[in-house]
Structure formats: structure tokens, C-alpha cells
A and B are shown apart, each in its own frame.
Chain A
Amino acid sequence: MSEPVGLAPAPAGSETGQPVLAPPRPGVHGAPRWMWVLGFAVVLPALVPIGSLVVRVFGGGDVVIDTILAGRTMALLVRSIVFTLLVTAAAAAIGVTAAWLLVRSDLPGKGTWTVLVSLPLVIPSYVIALALLSFFGGRGLFADVTGFALPSISGGFGAWLTLTLSTYPYVFLVARAAFRNLDPAHEEAARSLGAGAWRAFRTVVLPQLRPAVAAGSLLAALYTLSDFGGVSLMGFDVFTRVIYAQYQGRLDRTPAAVLALVLIALALVIVWGEQRTRGRAAYFGTRPRRLPPLVKLSRRGRAVAYGGLGVLTFAGLALPIGVLSAWLIRGVAGGQTIDMRWGAVAGSLTGSLVAAVLAMAAALPVVVLAVRHPGAASRWLRRAVYVIFSLPHITVALAVVFFAANYLGGLYQSFTLLVLVYAALFLAQAVSAGEAALLQVDPNLEEASRGLGRGSLATLWNITVPLMWKGLLVGGALVFLTTMKELPATLLLRPTGFDTLAVRVWSTTNDLFYARAAAPALVLLLVSAVPMYLLVIRPRRAL
């Protein structure tokens, strides 16, 4: 199964097929049994609710068949697929073009643009939707200020715009790394063999970018398929929104379960499809010794590039922040007290923090098994982690709701269950960052420790963990940030009275109280942006 990229600083270039820094090396001895037990103990429970969902659906009888075959379901399936394709295509086109401009062209100010273009990564889709909704239209901010009403934005187009702005940074970051890893000698070889600049780009550069673009597009597609907040606020019915409505509105929850299972199948098909695009080629090569010469843009080309990047930055970054700030300022100026629920801040922080710590702890055995003890078992373990990560949150949450309601009465709608689900959903981020860190730890150090008489647990604790600590921490920080933004699982699983910033933004926007959504949304962005910059964007710039 494919690994998520762009979410964690993956092992150098592993997504673009570049070799990782040090080859994984099996330990001399097999892993101790307690580590295997631990590794499966953290992963298997996450799979059980999904298994029980399958059982429930297939035991459901006629309702199941009816739901699947209903014309509405088929229409929903088609609409979700088309929507995902349109968003992914737009995200891929924007991401690759921006990456080319900011790596290969001579555009001035590339460093600043790179940060600006990557930053929408920290803005949740529902905040972008909130900004678009409350800026356009007759009641919008623009109409309020200028007296001139822009056409309102909602429905399919609004959802497409929202998701495209939310997902292109994934493609951008991966494509950017791939452009930088390309060996310029390939292009030069093509040119000296008689190919013009365009033919060389089309036949040599693009095919080598394919794995990276496919990986980035996979992330964009899964994000789109999984998105709940953005499409809901835009009032666009795709799977996630319909599942939520079915769950909320009906006594019989079987249709929701059926739809969730169809959505899971769709996500798995997409992951499988991305695997299929990887051809037989192997993209070896160390990092190129030099960067290729920059392509000179004409004056017109430069103007077009600035225009495009400007529109992108405006819509994806300036608009959300500007609109939120404007609402907040107007609210304060208008004498409103800032509607800040401190409970939501506390809920977001504690939930995310606990989830991050849990994910770091759970990642450790998985990482050690995957890197130090490669084999069929550890490969499956790892694969399970990534499959869970690729599933839409609402489907996992729904499976957990059913399972807990039936079998875990005490845990149902408890804080414990909520953070466990968070940790399981985002475990892949912690694993990916931890693997990158462990790959850089020389296994000889562990062997030396064993040779000096320390057992495997003591070695893990005294040698391995201290050396890979920073990587685990990066993974934990990523889990923290992703949990802060999480919406659908929180809505389904939160204990009564438990509130998060994401839930506040969503519910106030849903009720069209845009001004009240401003404060929690801004706090959410502030809390996310600083560590995200430190962890993801800054290290990537150094690549």
C-alpha cells in the first residue's frame, strides 16, 4: 500500500524512488517476541471495528441490497468519483506547474513564494470554505464593504474550489522535491540526442516525475474523498456528507454503514490504482551533484507566473486570513464580545496532545519492526497502518461508533475512545517520521550495545530511542496538527460537552454565524501554523 507523503518528512526521496539514506538492515537476531506482540497489539484493535462493520453490512439483508442498488447511491458514487477526479486533476496541474516555476524557472523571490504557496496546507478545508462563503454572495463581506454583491459561491463549484485550494500543496511539495532530485544530465542527454526542449521535457522529465505526481495526487484524491467539512459547508452532497446525514437523521443506521463501506472500497481502489501506475522502471541515483540551469522566463511568462501564483496565494491564504481578521475586527468594533469558548481551545489542545503522545508510543514498535526486522509480518503491519490512514475519517468513526455501542458500552462516547481513534487514524504520520529517523541510526550502535551485554529492551531504551527521538517528536507534532483540524470523527465520537475549535468553526459556519466562527478559526490557524512551518516547510526548504 502506498505511503502518505507530504504529511511527514519521509525518508529522503523514497517517494520519488530515490534510495533512502541508509539501507534498512535487519538485526542480527530476530525481534524479541514482546515487540511483535506490542506491534500487533497497537495495530489490530484499529482494524477490528472495520471488520465488524463489514460483518454488520453483510449480515444486514435486504436493506443492504436495496441501499446499494438504489439509484441515489449510484448517482452519489458517480458524483463522488467525478468530483474527486476534477479536484485531483486541478490540484495536480496547479501543484506541478507551481513546482516547476519555483524550482526550474528564474522567477525572482522563489523562496518566499515557496512558503506562501505551501502554507494553505495548514488551513483546514472548512476554514477555506468559510472564507469563500462569507466573502462572496449578497450577505458576504465584499458586498457589505463595497455595496456591490459578488455572485454567491456554493454547491459543486464552491466545493471544487475549496478542495482544490486545500489539496494542491500536497502535489506541490512532492513535485517540488522530485524536480529537485532530477538529474539534469538526463535532460542534457536527450537534448544532445536531438530532442528539442519540449520533447526532452515530455519524454524524459515528465515520465520521471510520474511516481511523485501520482503519490501527490493520491494524497489529494484521498483528502478529497475523505473531506467532510468543506463539502458540507458548501452544501455539496458527496459520500461523507450523505453518510453523516443518514447517521444523524435515521433510526436505522444500516444505510449509513453500507455507504461507509462503499466509500472505504472506493478509497482502497484509489490506493490500488496509484500502485498500478508505478511501472517497471527503477529510479535510482544519488542526489544529483548540481541543479539544472534555470529556465529564463520571458517578460510575459513572468507576468503570467506572478499572476497565477498571486491568485493562488490570495485565494488559498490571504482570503481566509483576511476574511477571518475582518470579521473579528468588525465584531469587536461593533461591540460584540469575542465569542471565544475556552472549553473548545482546551478540548482541542488536550485531545491533540494526548493523541500525539499515544501515536508516538504506538509508532515505536511498528517502526523498529519495519526498519530493523523487514519481512512479511512487519510489511503487513506497516501496510495496515497506512491503510487505516487512507480511510475517510467518517467511515472509521462510524465503524467505531457501531462497535463501541454494541460491545464497549463503557467506552462509548468517552474521551479515551476519541483519542484512541485519533491516534489510530494518524499513526502513519508518526510511523513515517520515525522510520526516517531510525534509518539514519547505524544498526552497529545497537549491535555494540547488545555485544556489551545489554538486552534488547535496554538497548531500545538507551540507544535506539535517544537517537531517533527527534524523528518521533516530528511525527508526534504532525499528529498533533492533524488532530487539531480533525472534524468528522470528532463530531461522531466526542463525549457530550466536549468541544474543539474545529467543531466550533464548523457549527457556527453551518448556522451562518460567520463572525462567530472567526475567533476559533484564527486560533486554530495560529496554533497550527507555527509548528507546521518549523517542522514541515523549513526542513523541506533545506532539501
Chain B
Amino acid sequence: MNRMVPPAIHCHRLTKSFGDAMALDDFELEVPTGAILALLGPSGCGKTTALRVVAGFERPDRGAVEIAGRTVVDGTMSLPPEQRRVGMVFQDYALFPHMSVGANVAYGLERGSDRRVGAVLDLVGLGGLGERMPHELSGGEQQRVALARALAPEPAVILLDEPFSNLDATLRDRMRRDVRSILTEAEATAIFVTHDQEEALAIADVVAVMRDGTVQQVGTPREIYRRPATPWIGEFVGESEFIDGHADVGRVVTSMGTFPQFGDLRGDVRVMIRPEWVHPTPATDGAAVVVGREYYGHDQLLVIELADGRRITSRIGSNSFVSPGDRVDIGIDEVVVFPDSA
């Protein structure tokens, strides 16, 4: 990343509480220009508050926010929302019900920007629908209008609050792809808030995992999934199982075998395994036995009982002919090692 370009957004040590509830607690986040960042966390972790503080709808108790290198709020001042160059896409879209689609999109523009309105509507695939009223549109179309309206004034950053939660499953998948490609084509920087880890991993360039008002890890989807910083993050972003182990230089010893470790942990540790890292091989004298199966079509989940009675799950392709009752040997690709205290 070019050092001369300031990050699109820098949140510095934001703190915000509502009564006794701490919504943001030393919240720290940097969003590189041009990136799509997912702010991922369970409900109530403060992610929507973070978005609203950036947009200027809430004022933090402490801390500062810079947008494109300009301070918009700190201990001494707070710019009103209209001066922040932030485009917001609301969870239920918040389209003005008394204005046409075109008027909604034109709201943030100078008078007489009809060409821009048309261009943005074309960008979101709604060219020619400018005369419609919001309630005459489907849910997916309404979302496109909300996105077009936010993009129209070319804000420094687009904020999306749980953007796909109001859509049904089929539409959701398509809108995820479309929104991503629209944002990319508009060369926009975006933060979107979600509690759905699959959604975060699928759309974002960068994922920030949030818990209890703080960002706990920032990384690419791959880093977050394969190298979670804590057991909690590991469990939150995907299916996982934990076993005990003992670490010494470069390796960790468990009841399921010995694995390399890249850190330098010593002593008792916790080892996390994801189901798709577990590979059963049929073997008549195998030490483990398949005791259950959930068949999903695109893959299947096996429940395997080990010699010591412990159970572990394995996600394998649906073409594999391993069936309940079969004896198997277990191979494990990789593991994640956490200190025992974590």
C-alpha cells in the first residue's frame, strides 16, 4: 500500500458507552483506501455503534476518527454527518418513501445532476427505473437504490449496516456478488457490518473481527480462518473442535498425532482442528470408526469415534464412499495451536 495515501478511515481508541453497557472499548481500526472491509462480530458486540460513530450519528465518549486524512471527530470537535463525505446504506434501506427512485438518488447531489443520477442507476443495474416509487420495487431493487444513493455523491467511504439481512437466501447470494462488483467498479472504499462469518469471508478483502467493543483481529479472510488469533475467533468464524496438547520446540504432541507449530509455545496448549482438515482413510484395522453422517449434497459431515472414545467430525467430498460402521484411519492436514490459558 502506498505510504503517501492516508487510510480511508482511521478510528483511534474509540470508547462509547450507553449507560452501563460498553459498546466501544478502545476500538482501533484502519481501513485502506479502496478496500472492502467486513466488521464481523456477534450481535451486541458494538459493530453497528462503530459504524454510527464513523458516520457521525453517535458521538464517542473518547477517541478520534479520521476520514481520508481529515479528523472528523476527536475530543474537541465533531463534524456533523453532512460534512463527513460518508455514504450510508441502512439495514432496511431507509429510502425516502415520498420521493421517486431518481429523487432519492439525486438527494445528495447538486441540482441538475440528472446525468450522474442516470449513470449511478445504470451502475447498479436499475437504468430506466428512476421514475418508480420505492414501494414499487422488490427488496433487491430497493437495496440497489440505497447503494446508488450512497454512491452518487462519491463519498470517501461507504458504510453498509447488515446490508443483506433483509433478503431471502437466494437473493442474498446474488446481491452479495453484485454489491461486491458494484463497489469494485465504483472504486469505493467500504465497511460493512455483519454477524454472518460466511458473508464476511466471501465478500471482504479484509475482515476485522470484533468482540465486546474491541477489534480482536484484522486480516484477510484466509488469515482469519486459518490463523485465528484466539480460540474464540477460531470458533466464531467456522466449525472447529479443540483437543489438549503439549508443545515444545517446533511441534505439538496430541492424542491424534504430532503436528508442527509455527509459534514458540511451550507446555500445555489447546489445539484447534477444523472438520475439513480431517481425512478418514478406510482401513479394516483402523483405530477409529465412523458413527454418524450428515449428507449435504455438495459435501458430507462424518462423525468419527476414536479409540479412546473421543469423537471428531470430518468434512469430506460427497463422492467419498465412507459409511457409518466403517473402520478408518485418521489423517490431519493442519492444526492451530493456542496457549492453554486462552
Contact = CB atoms under 8 A, between A and B. Distances in A.
Interface of A: 183, 185-186, 188-197, 203-204, 207-208, 210, 279-285, 293
Contacts of B153: 193-194
Contact of B86 (A190, A192, A196, A281): A192
Given A191-B56, A192-B55, A186 B133 contact: no
B232 interface: no
A51 to B, nearest CB: 39
A196 B81 CA distance: 8
A89 B88 CA distance: 37
A280 B87 CA distance: 27
Contacts, number: 79
Interface stretch (B89-97, B204-212, B244-252, B319-327): B89-97
A203 B99 CA distance: 10
A188 B82 CA distance: 9
B82 A195 contact: yes
Nearest to B103: A203
B107 A193 contact: yes
Contacts of A285: 92, 97
B9 to A, nearest CB: 14
B82 A191 contact: yes
B94 A185 contact: yes
Interface residues of B, number: 28
B144 interface: no
15 contacts: A185-B90, A190-B107, A191-B81, A192-B56, A192-B82, A192-B84, A193-B82, A193-B87, A204-B96, A208-B97, A279-B98, A282-B133, A284-B97, A285-B92, A293-B57
B88 A189 contact: yes
B80 A197 contact: yes
A208 B84 contact: no
B97 A194 contact: no
Contact of B94 (A189, A194, A196, A207): A189
Interface-centre pick from B81, B108, B155 (highest chain A CB count, 10 A): B81
B76 to A, nearest CB: 18
Nearest to B59: A293
Contacts of B99: 281
Contacts of A193: 82, 87, 107-108, 149-150, 153
Contact of B98 (A188, A189, A191, A281): A281
A183 B92 contact: yes
Contact of A186 (B83, B87, B91, B94): B94
Interface in B111-153: 133, 135, 149-150, 153
Contacts of B87: 192-193
B135 A282 contact: yes
Contacts of A283: 97-98
A207 B104 CA distance: 14
**A193, A207, A285 interface centre (most CB from chain B within 10 Å):** A193
Contacts of A183: 92, 94
Contacts of B133: 280-282
A192 B155 CA distance: 9
A185 B98 contact: no
Nearest to A288: B92
